Amino acid sequence: GNSVTQMEGPVTLSEEAFLTINCTYTATGYPSLFWYVQYPGEGLQLLLKATKADDKGSNKGFEATYRKETTSFHLEKGSVQVSDSAVYFCALGGATNKLIFGTGTLLAVQP
């Protein structure tokens, strides 16, 4: 069945460091891929998405490219800020008609 695997956290970085959070998926057909972010004490909110292969989603300095050949959707940011500290979820929308979430990766950015 469809599934999402993302790197385990926590990921601890200094401010202005480069961020990569890995996400790979298994799916039948041609799913859409999402990154959601959850700030402390809040619900999840969409960060970016890509609906077909080679699409790049971007928002707030974050980027992720839908790579069908490697079944990946890695999240990147060139220079993180303390305010980026949150839990990041990779998710897949596909033929099962359910949004499948990864386990989440906690990012802690230190000043």
Which residue ranges make up the site for other proteins (CB under 8 A)?
A: 31-32, 36, 41-46, 49, 51, 89, 93-94, 96-99, 101-104
- Name the β-bridge partners of 67: 72
Work out the number of other CB atoms within 10 angstroms of the CB of residue 102. 23
Query: Least CB distance from residue 79 to other proteins, whole Å?
Result: 26
Rounded to whole angstroms, the Cα distance separating 5 from 21 reads 11
Minimum CB–partner distance for residue 98 and other proteins (Å)? 6
- Quick one: 25 or 36, whose CB is closer to other proteins? 36
Q: Which one, 57 or 77, has the nearer CB to other proteins?
A: 57
Give 17 or 99: the residue with its C-beta nearer to other proteins: 99
Minimum distance from CB of 99 to other proteins (Å)? Answer: 5
Nearer to other proteins, 13 or 106 (CB): 106
